[in-house]
Chain A
């Protein structure tokens, strides 16, 4: 199929969960998908607004793509769940990006709000297809293909996380390797996906953990019901889907099944700041947990030394706990 043009997807925010879907969709429609490279050594963060680090990353990546593509794909992610919503900052992302790129490139800013109904995700993508000149049938076909690729990707996710370098997790052409080696510790890796897998934000914590002999478990393994079960007794319902995922999976893993839990946040993340306080206090009120918990908060520092020290200490704690138990 001949190429219709280039669509740029910034390597930021929900890219780190939905790219297999989004990328396949546009490719199936005959567009070339260009993903931004991220911060190489010399790149600088673009400060358009005084927002959280992941948001600054989005703007930086979008500016990077500005001259290389025909369209930028920045969906307005209001909700990616039937009931719960995304962080309010996501609602303004296309507008922020449009201003930051000075309107030099058209932005595909279709609103995605799954609260509207079961089919709303498909409808949003049909609309996107229409905007790109595709017929309804073509869009539907592309949507099905994207769904297939997404579920395929999800089923191989744990192998990918443990077997591939962090930078290659979302390179779809790289096949999932077989993990043969058994690592001594199982550690849960919790946070927003864009904090967990963006090496520019977390200085590749994932690789560091793996090199310290930790097998990674992510919340993706858990079901929606499990999250709900863990947080059903709260005095008020948490209404951010990402927040539910974080608190639910934290409580799940802290009640057993892993040797340690690492929780990643970035500075100025509003949801994490509030929930982090909640988690800490609740654990304290309930008398603590036997499983070590490490909370790492990231900002724009470039050094990795502090991180290494803390992770090594964390590993030592796990080791000690295990030795005491056996």
Chain B
């Protein structure tokens, strides 16, 4: 048995840590690239959303490298994400690739438990008692690593706009993340985190600069994965903007595990009520609510990310135009698809920043 999982930002560090610690053989799909996307595009059609294509590409690459068991987080209605597995299974079957599928249920219910039992019946035979014994420890390690990654990324978002040598933060962040990824025990992990933090602190900074504050909102996949959004977060930072986001892998996990964590989401949903009278699903209402609240908090702008033809976010983008007018906050919607639009995104972001500068000067 060789387990594999899709890429999503630094999620592979989390998954890898679980498998590694529990002693389960795994294959990390090659880093998402042009080739991954090309595979996904080739085996789906033009109006399916971008995350579908990238995940499919990841799976194809991993299966060709010898993986045989796909682990994928399940999801539910109303957005298309909930039916990815139904379609991807048929596509892989049609391509003649052999795989087994294991769904991690998004919510705990008896159907989910039953499905999980059905799917793991065969798999369990290939695991040793040691694997089972170590699994909870693996989960814990994975969680620790993920929190460490997110902490470092958040720190980098704060440092980046003030850096003197462009690109230095990103370089050091990468180094720090590799350190976290390579840590094998809780002690080395702690060491790696400490080292990573001081690495980022060591970036030469111009502390007199007052950066603009911009919130990144939108569909979770496009917000979280730097390959899909062509490094919007990094680009904004290097243009001298302090970007923030509330969409992290851990927040989405916490949301399905614990209700208390919903409070922030509830706040966003509440704020979107004047524009949208019903929960459309996925991140639609959150995008709108977050844009409104950030504007109240004095943010300078909002960048809204969505995949082409995404059903909930299309609704959000229509409404966000009005939100921008009503709250006098510049909102830039970037629709991401399979085209190579890195250069265009750079130009759009530069223009956006210039606009923010004019606005600040006029005020």
Interface residues of A (CB under 8 A from B): 48-52, 76, 78, 85, 87-89, 91-92, 94-96, 99, 109, 111, 234-236, 238-240, 267-278, 281-282, 284-285
Distance to closest chain B CB from A99 (angstroms): 5
- Pairs A–B under 8 Å by Cβ, sample size 22: A49-B318, A50-B318, A51-B314, A85-B78, A88-B282, A88-B315, A91-B279, A94-B277, A111-B277, A234-B86, A235-B85, A236-B82, A236-B83, A239-B78, A240-B77, A240-B78, A273-B45, A274-B80, A278-B87, A281-B93, A284-B94, A285-B94
Does B49 make an interface contact (CB < 8 A)?
Answer: yes
Does B44 make an interface contact (CB < 8 A)?
Answer: yes
Known contacts A239-B77, A278-B87; is-contact A88 B277 (Cβ 8 Å): no
Residues of A within 8 A of B47 (CB): 267-270, 272-273
Residues of A within 8 A of B253 (CB): none
Contact code string B313-350 (vs A, CB < 8 Å = 1, else 0):
01101110110000000000001000000000000000
Does B91 make an interface contact (CB < 8 A)?
Answer: yes
Distance to closest chain B CB from A187 (angstroms): 24
Known contacts A87-B311, A285-B94; is-contact A92 B83 (Cβ 8 Å): no
Does B280 make an interface contact (CB < 8 A)?
Answer: yes
Bound CA span A4–B212, Å: 55
Tell me if B90 and A89 are in contact (CB < 8 A).
no
Name the 6 nearest CB pairs between A and B, nearest first: A49-B318, A273-B47, A92-B315, A88-B78, A281-B90, A270-B311
Known contacts A88-B79, A274-B87; is-contact A96 B45 (Cβ 8 Å): no
Tell me if A285 and B90 are in contact (CB < 8 A).
yes
Residues of B within 8 A of A52 (CB): 309, 314
Bound CA span A96–B275, Å: 9
Does B161 make an interface contact (CB < 8 A)?
Answer: no
Does B48 make an interface contact (CB < 8 A)?
Answer: yes
Residue with the greatest number of chain B CB neighbours at <10 A, chosen from A49, A234, A281, A284 = A281
Tell me if A236 and B80 are in contact (CB < 8 A).
no
Does B104 make an interface contact (CB < 8 A)?
Answer: no
Bound CA span A276–B82, Å: 16
Q: Which residue of A lies closest to B333 (CB)?
A: A50
Distance to closest chain A CB from B71 (angstroms): 16
Q: Which residue of A lies closest to B317 (CB)?
A: A49
Distance to closest chain A CB from B338 (angstroms): 14
Residues of A within 8 A of B52 (CB): 274
Residues of A within 8 A of B25 (CB): none
Known contacts A238-B83, A239-B77; is-contact A274 B48 (Cβ 8 Å): yes
Q: Which residue of B lies closest to A100 (CB)?
A: B318
Known contacts A273-B48, A274-B48; is-contact A235 B77 (Cβ 8 Å): no
Bound CA span A14–B227, Å: 39
Q: Which residue of B lies closest to A55 (CB)?
A: B314
Does B114 make an interface contact (CB < 8 A)?
Answer: no
Does B301 make an interface contact (CB < 8 A)?
Answer: no
Q: Which residue of B lies closest to A269 (CB)?
A: B47
Residues of B within 8 A of A99 (CB): 275, 318-319, 322
Distance to closest chain B CB from A238 (angstroms): 7
Distance to closest chain B CB from A69 (angstroms): 21
B278: contacting residue among A111, A234, A268, A284, CB under 8 A: A111
Q: Which residue of A lies closest to B44 (CB)?
A: A277
Bound CA span A88–B317, Å: 14
Distance to closest chain B CB from A243 (angstroms): 8
Bound CA span A275–B80, Å: 10
Residues of A within 8 A of B276 (CB): 92, 95
Does B196 make an interface contact (CB < 8 A)?
Answer: no
Residues of A within 8 A of B282 (CB): 88
Tell me if A281 and B80 are in contact (CB < 8 A).
no
Residues of A within 8 A of B90 (CB): 278, 281-282, 285
Residues of A within 8 A of B83 (CB): 236, 238-239, 274
Bound CA span A144–B46, Å: 45
Does B284 make an interface contact (CB < 8 A)?
Answer: yes
Does B89 make an interface contact (CB < 8 A)?
Answer: yes
Tell me if A270 and B278 are in contact (CB < 8 A).
no
Contact code string B64-87 (vs A, CB < 8 Å = 1, else 0):
000000000000111110110111
Bound CA span A6–B214, Å: 46
Q: Which residue of B lies closest to A59 (CB)?
A: B318
Distance to closest chain B CB from A177 (angstroms): 38
Tell me if B284 and A92 are in contact (CB < 8 A).
yes
Does B167 make an interface contact (CB < 8 A)?
Answer: no
Contact code string B101-122 (vs A, CB < 8 Å = 1, else 0):
1000000000000000000000
Tell me if B86 and A92 are in contact (CB < 8 A).
no
Does B281 make an interface contact (CB < 8 A)?
Answer: yes
Q: Which residue of A lies closest to B96 (CB)?
A: A285
Residues of A within 8 A of B281 (CB): 88, 91
Q: Which residue of B lies closest to A92 (CB)?
A: B315
Tell me if A91 and B89 are in contact (CB < 8 A).
no
Tell me if B85 and A76 are in contact (CB < 8 A).
no
A96: contacting residue among B46, B89, B94, B315, CB under 8 A: B315
Tell me if B87 and A95 are in contact (CB < 8 A).
no
Residues of B within 8 A of A271 (CB): 80
Bound CA span A240–B85, Å: 16
Bound CA span A76–B278, Å: 9
Tell me if A96 and B319 are in contact (CB < 8 A).
yes
Q: Which residue of A lies closest to B101 (CB)?
A: A235
Bound CA span A272–B312, Å: 15
Tell me if B277 and A109 are in contact (CB < 8 A).
yes
Tell me if A235 and B89 are in contact (CB < 8 A).
yes
Bound CA span A15–B282, Å: 27
Bound CA span A248–B259, Å: 37
Bound CA span A291–B263, Å: 54
Bound CA span A51–B335, Å: 12
Distance to closest chain A CB from B57 (angstroms): 15
Distance to closest chain A CB from B97 (angstroms): 12
Tell me if A236 and B85 are in contact (CB < 8 A).
yes
The A-contacting residues of B in range 239-279, CB under 8 angstroms, are 275-279
Q: Which residue of A lies closest to B274 (CB)?
A: A95
A270: contacting residue among B49, B284, B321, CB under 8 A: B49
Tell me if A78 and B318 are in contact (CB < 8 A).
no
Contact code string B32-54 (vs A, CB < 8 Å = 1, else 0):
00000000000011111100100
B311: contacting residue among A50, A89, A111, A235, CB under 8 A: A89
